[in-house]
Structure 1
Amino acid sequence: MRVLFVNDTPRNGGPGRSLYTILKFLPKERVHRTVLLPREGIISELYRDHGVADEILTLPDLVENPVEPWSRAMMREDYDAPAPLRLVRLLGNLGRATRGVLALAKLAKTGNYDLIYCNGTNANFFGGIAAALSGVPALWHVRYTHIPAALRPVHDALAEGGDVAAIVCVSEAAAALFPKAGPKVRVVHNALDVDEFGAGVEPCLRTELGLPADAVVFGSQGRILPRKGYLEMIEAARIALAGMDAALQARCHFVVLGDTPEDLRPDHLAECRARVVELGLEKNVHFLGFRADVRTYVADYDVGIVPSVYPDPLPRAVIECMAFGRPVLAFDVGGVGEMLRSADAPVGRLLSGDPPDVAGLAAAIGDYARDPELRREQGARAREHILARYDARAHAAHIMAIIDQAARA
């Protein structure tokens, strides 16, 4: 079977890494894996270095941002380009996107592909239209919980039409976007290769920061965006630290891995770092920036924090922390609660997310900082839960069955 996997960005992030895990464990003898990206980048390097794709192609007309320059990737300063220039780029990108859809449809048909596997919001639009033009069915992997109102009619028409043969949603929160799509909608949570998240990983975080052996590390990883809740996490850290004695304050550290992508504004990483300085928390709160491989850092956490304040579909950070045997503190939004509630016993703590219970998060931080047995017990349970329900091998087998069914459609 020939499957064309369309990933709508070459940037590092959850969708591309989740697709990597699927590609890694799909049976090579059954699936020819062609990956199509807008351009080369971290994701293409990852796929190529680990041999998870049989072919990697680029199609620059898979437009990532409606006002991006025509000859290079979007940068933050492009948002400040003169209005006439942005209008010209917008009009040009409409033409490029049309050309991209046509090229994708031609590739699907002339390449004798059995399925277009769409991974991401833009990929779903491109792939859904290309499926209608080419007659090659599409599968949508939905990793979002919101569609702009202006695009919703087109999105719904594609989803409910016959050319999109299957819709895989990473959470019930994502599946709520498709009330009329019927049985083609399946909820399949993300997974990871549990062998890559275990005792064989050499921790580096405490050494890098020069932390004492008895430090209690609360860690988080992800893109640094306002909706990811890092300002709320900083405030919770401030409140929690204020309630500790001097000895515990000195031992308690908050570490965040990640950056704000160059094609998004504002630079929220800079805003978070400035807030840390403003509150005088530099000794305890550390925004380290981007790390290509977070595992050696997560392995040094004591507790994971996933502070998203919007309906986050299903952040990989939850699974990564739990796979290392770390309990997770989070606001109950989107698919986050689905992950933590699905365990038979507590593997962390969920706080109210609407509005985010910052004081509750601060109280939870204090509880876990003071109780190593609580951290150990819930962390061990979290690891067992991931091993039982979120291993990438079983996940890939499930996805393979859906691919088979969708291709036959």
Structure 2
Amino acid sequence: MHILVLEKEPTSRRGGQERSLFEVSRQLHQRGHRISLLYTQSGDLLSQYQAFCQQTLSITALSFSRHRPLQTFLNLPRDLNRAKALIHPNEPTLIYTNQIYDIPFAGLLSQLTRLPLVCHLRLPAPDKLDLQRSHYLSAVHKFITVSQHTKQTWLQKPWVQSLGHPPIEVVYNSIDTEYFTPASNQNPHPRQQLQQQWNLPTDHTLLAYAGRLDRRKGLENLLHGFAKFNATQPKSTLLIAGKPLLDRPDYLKELQVLTQTLNIQANVRFLGHLTETRSLYQASDLVIMPSIWPEPFGRVIIEAMACGTPVIASHTGGIPEILTGEFAQTLFPPRNPAALADRIQQVLTWKQTDPLLSQRCRQHVQTHFSLTTNIAEIEGIFQQTLSPQKLLAPPLPLSL
């Protein structure tokens, strides 16, 4: 099949949502499908898309911008026609978008070409949806989401219910466990390399956070919890990798000031954005995900566990669907620094008390979040959506 992938900015710097779409696209290409990418802004993943995509096409916008309404309106017919030119009449073709905010252009293209549209819901449902997007929502033939919790946040919204219970399939995120592995012959000493790079004490326990530096990620709670733990275990260092995205750039300064207030500045290192986080997972004794919002999934959790590093995380959103079985013990209540500190204390001795935990972490990911299974499920949804009897959505007026 031919898959028209829509992505506002193909980048690894925003988080797991964009990286997951890239991985799905690349894996579908490897399974023999033709991929074309429509995007509006260049990002660091664009060159990697170009390595396997049949074509990559820059367009003006995927939604009708309030900041550039005239330009968007004037360029829309041209962009739709350029997108249509990518389609071969006798080739099964599907439109695939990664978020609800790209629905206007995707919906118009679907109705113009009579091609099915699949939307991957990788974020919780917003409280409100503007009329523009809700108007084109009924153009979607199938929704996919990343956890049961996220699915329920969508189904509970009145504006989703008005669609008549749209089909929403749950397909958990997955990762390439041949890439995310414990330290190996290819990289036998990630811990030593990290210690040398950042001048870390060689006798310190290393705890890590990787992700956006946004308030919803619970970083203040992380610092308060680490301060409580560090008061009893001073030979420990917290590594924080990432940069602000949703919050202002000076949020990093606020976090740095908080480390001084808590008197832990000597034990916390802000690493900035890391293009490659595997070495950080491999080098760390424990990874922490302290989110205070309903995290849709939590890709960092399975990345770290595939590297053999245990994770403790907030009991929120879709995270409890990842940390199941024995790993449910590693959950802690969000917004509770004391509980976070206690969980660090309980899990951090695993190398001495439970050295096989590393293997079980990796096996858990391989069993439940297999990339092969994930891609096969998405491919099956696409093929089912392409079957003629599924294309029942009525045409929408091509109006702005």
Name the TM-score class by shorter chain.
0.7 to 0.9
Which of residues 23, 40, 43 is equivalent to 1:41? 43
| Aligned equivalents of 1:274, 1:103: Cα separation in 2 | 50
SS in 2 for 1:5: strand
Query: 1:119-130, aligned counterparts within 5 Å?
Result: 119-130=98-109
Measure, in 2, the Cα distance between the counterparts of 1:148 and 1:133. 29
Asked if structure 2 preserves the Cα contact closer than 8 Å seen for 1:119 and 1:141, the reply is yes
For residues 404 and 300 of structure 1, do their structure 2 counterparts lie closer, same or farther at Cα, with a shift above 3 Å needed? same
Q: Which residue of 2 aligns with 1:189?
A: 172
2:86 maps to 111
Distance 2:257 2:52 in 1: 40
Q: Residue 332 of structure 1 contacts residue 351 of structure 1 at CA under 8 Å; is this kept in 2?
A: yes
In 2: Cα distance, 1:149 partner to 1:361 partner: 33
Q: SS at 1:196's partner residue?
A: coil
Equivalent residue number for residue 142 of structure 1 = 121
The unaligned stretches of length 5 or more in structure 2 are: 392-400
The superposition leaves residues 162-186 of structure 1 with CA deviations (integer Å, 9 ceiling, x where unpaired) of x311111011122120354646210
Instruction: Note the residue ranges of structure 1 that are not aligned, 5 or more in a row.
Output: 67-89
Decide whether the 8 Å contact of 2:147 with 2:318 is kept in 1: yes
After TM superposition, the structure 1 stretch with the greater mean CA deviation from structure 2, 53-62 or 306-315, is: 53-62
Q: How many Å apart are 1:103 and its aligned residue?
A: 4.8
Match runs of 1:153-302 below 5 Å: 155=133, 158-159=136-137, 161=138, 163-176=139-152, 177-178=154-155, 180=161, 182=165, 184-198=167-181, 199-200=183-184, 202=187, 203=190, 204-242=193-231, 244=232, 248-250=233-235, 252-261=236-245, 264-265=247-248, 267-302=250-285
Mapped to 1, the partners of 2:216 and 2:359 lie a distance apart of: 30
Pick closer, same or farther for the CA change 1:326–1:28 going to 2, 3 Å. closer
Partner-residue secondary structure (3-state), 2:385: helix
Contact 1:144–1:174 under 8 Å retained in 2? yes
Within a 5 Å distance, the mapping from 1:63-142 to structure 2 comes to 90=66, 92-98=67-73, 102-103=77-78, 105-112=80-87, 114-142=93-121
Is 2:383 the partner of 1:383? no
User: Does the CA contact (< 8 Å) of 1:224 and 1:259 recur in 2?
Assistant: yes
Structure 1 residues 236 and 144, CA, compared in 2 at 3 Å: closer, same or farther?
same
State the shift of 1:207 in Å.
Answer: 2.8
**1:110 positional shift:** 3.2
Listed as ranges, the matches of 1:389-408 within 5 Å are 389-408=368-387
Specify the SS of the correspondent of 1:117.
Answer: strand
- Report what 2:394 is aligned to: none
Q: Which residue of 2 aligns with 1:364?
A: 343
Query: How far, CA to CA, are the matches of 2:209 and 2:374 in structure 1?
Result: 25
Shift of residue 144, structure 1, vs aligned partner: 0.5
Distance 1:231 1:26 in 2: 39
Could you say which residue in structure 2 is the equivalent of 1:32?
A: 34
Q: Structure 1 residues 376 and 52, CA, compared in 2 at 3 Å: closer, same or farther?
A: farther
> 1:60 and 1:156, CA in 2 relative to 1: closer, same or farther beyond 3 A?
closer
1:211: how far off?
3.0
Pairs aligned (count) = 369
Alignment partners' CA distance in 2, 1:7 and 1:93: 19
State the TM-score, normalizing by the size of structure 1: 0.82
Structure 1, residues 26-75: CA drift from partner, whole Å, max 9, x if none? 15464110112212111213434xx34232222233369x5xxxxxxxxx
Contact 2:8–2:41 under 8 Å retained in 1: no
- Structure 1, residues 89-111: CA drift from partner, whole Å, max 9, x if none? x4x42334445655554344332
Provide the secondary structure at the position in 1 that maps to 2:264.
Answer: coil
| Secondary structure of 1:309's aligned partner | coil
Give SS of 1:269's match. Answer: helix
Shift of 1:278: 2.8
Q: Is the 8 A contact 1:368 1:375 kept in 2?
A: no
Matched residue, 1:82: none
Any idea what SS the aligned residue of 1:277 has?
helix
Do 1:347 and 1:381's aligned partners in 2 also have CA atoms closer than 8 Å?
no
Tell whether the 8 Å contact from 1:326 to 1:375 is kept in structure 2 after alignment. no
Q: CA RMSD in A?
A: 2.5
Looking at structure 2, the residues matched to 117 and 28 of structure 1 have their Cα atoms a distance apart, in angstroms, of 17
Aligned counterpart, 1:9: 9
Normalization by structure 2: what TM-score? 0.84
Contact 1:302 1:375 in 2 (8 A): no
